[in-house]
Structure 1
């Protein structure tokens, strides 16, 4: 076998294995959500079973998951919009005015484990009587999304030619005007990437919502935890709830993946 043909075979086998590793847990989750708890524990019914929608009925009706879906949408949307409003000007300033020390601080905030700030935040927000409200959840989610927006958009702004803004300044625009009328329209793919990833990270956030929310502001990842009891686990309901959380994000990712890829690689060829 020629080396090129052997490489093609190896590539197909490797890609197939990777896809199976990634897709198998999702397929098991979806199939388990259509089974009763008895069928889930029965190895003979791993593939051949009678599907049921009782778990989804439990999730969407009895467990009041529609309210939790609305809570997650609101928190993720508000955190994403606030992060974009604050992060875009910050990323532009760091990119155009060579504020590399500030960029280093943002990068440090990006890699600091959120759990290290959870106890201080709870202490501060509890004294401010904010624990249990949507405001504290949005602020806590911005700890993840805001550095992400700044980090992505700095690379995107670096890839844009500064000559366009210099020409706008010569024509009489201020730096703010050039940013608003020249840079932002050219940065829409990067903004879409930052917004999508910010929304996904906020939608999936579990730790902050577990500690800082209450019964009225509970988000979907926390609501899933209700199916885990002290003595037993409702696997059918748990898998149905996990499917409800996962499928919207998967659909969004499938439709916007080209924007995410283009936005993440925009600054890779700078220089």
Structure 2
């Protein structure tokens, strides 16, 4: 009986913690499915009599959302893959060399706001003539993704056994062979969680895109922001656009939640 009460209490606490976010998300769904007259009604209407599916159709018809979706895929995909190529070997090297000072620098870079890098990077890209293209967005997104990958992989590599690496070294394997054939397969869960978290942070980034992007190189968060106007805010289309932006990351998080929890508990928590 005590275990049942303990589980019920745990579920009640969890529900209490997530209820504000859940309420806001349900209200955003309600806004996206209502006509403007229902969105301005008082008392508020949660479930309308008629669903305004045109809000979702209008997102793709009038705002070049497919182009912005492609831009987001290119920027996020390139920044995440480059972060893995740089961050996984860097995390391995820092973990094996026990370079605590380097780990502290990575932690500082992870905690530093992206705005600190934005102005000098803006001036650099302006001097290079790259403003308005996807290249500066990919490069500056590395400021967000690389520290995340390195920090998670440091903690994860610290939990992987060294005995197998020493056995491979005795057999004559080179350091790169040991890393590629022995250590990397063992670190697959950590790589998965690094990939997912880097992708989420990059996909949701707004500040870099609004400063560095041009009219044809905007990403989805910037496209949603540009739907706001000073004259009138159409809440239905705006909520529909926000849901379209959120849906890919939300689905990825739901499908990979076990890998995220396993990777964080196995490596990142210890590394922190």
TM-score range, shorter chain: over 0.9
1:131 has 2:155 as partner: no
Following the alignment from structure 2 to structure 1, what is the Cα–Cα distance between the partners of residues 151 and 181? Answer: 22
Deviations 1:232-260 (A, max 9, x none): 21211110000001111111111111111
Deviation at 1:231, TM superposition (A): 2.5
Question: Who is 1:35 aligned against?
Answer: 34
Where 2:256 maps in the other structure, the secondary structure is helix
**TM-score relative to the length of structure 1:** 0.94
Deviation at 1:118, TM superposition (A): 1.2
Deviations 1:142-185 (A, max 9, x none): 10000000000000000001111111111101111100110111
Question: Who is 2:117 aligned against?
Answer: 117
Deviation at 1:119, TM superposition (A): 1.3
Following the alignment from structure 1 to structure 2, what is the Cα–Cα distance between the partners of residues 215 and 197? Answer: 28
Following the alignment from structure 1 to structure 2, what is the Cα–Cα distance between the partners of residues 85 and 165? Answer: 21
Structure-to-structure mapping, 1:162-177, within 5 angstroms: 162-177=162-177
After TM superposition, the structure 1 stretch with the greater mean CA deviation from structure 2, 165-174 or 224-233, is 224-233
Where 1:92 maps in the other structure, the secondary structure is helix
* Contact residue 39 and residue 49 of structure 1 kept, 8 A: no
Deviations 1:51-97 (A, max 9, x none): 11111111111111011111101111100000000111111100001
Q: Which 5+ residue runs of structure 2 have no aligned equivalent? A: none
Q: Which 5+ residue runs of structure 1 have no aligned equivalent? A: none
Deviation at 1:14, TM superposition (A): 2.1
After TM superposition, the structure 1 stretch with the greater mean CA deviation from structure 2, 245-254 or 229-238, is 229-238
1:141 has 2:131 as partner: no
Following the alignment from structure 2 to structure 1, what is the Cα–Cα distance between the partners of residues 74 and 29? Answer: 26
Where 1:159 maps in the other structure, the secondary structure is coil
Question: Who is 1:210 aligned against?
Answer: 210
Following the alignment from structure 1 to structure 2, what is the Cα–Cα distance between the partners of residues 219 and 8? Answer: 43
Question: Who is 1:188 aligned against?
Answer: 188
Q: How many residues align?
A: 269
Root-mean-square deviation over aligned CA pairs: 1.7
* Contact residue 83 and residue 149 of structure 1 kept, 8 A: yes
Where 1:46 maps in the other structure, the secondary structure is coil
Following the alignment from structure 2 to structure 1, what is the Cα–Cα distance between the partners of residues 144 and 91? Answer: 15
Where 2:84 maps in the other structure, the secondary structure is helix
Question: Who is 1:82 aligned against?
Answer: 82
Deviations 1:105-148 (A, max 9, x none): 11111011111221111111101111111110001111000000
* Contact residue 155 and residue 270 of structure 2 kept, 8 A: no
Following the alignment from structure 1 to structure 2, what is the Cα–Cα distance between the partners of residues 12 and 184? Answer: 37
Structure-to-structure mapping, 1:237-256, within 5 angstroms: 237-256=237-256
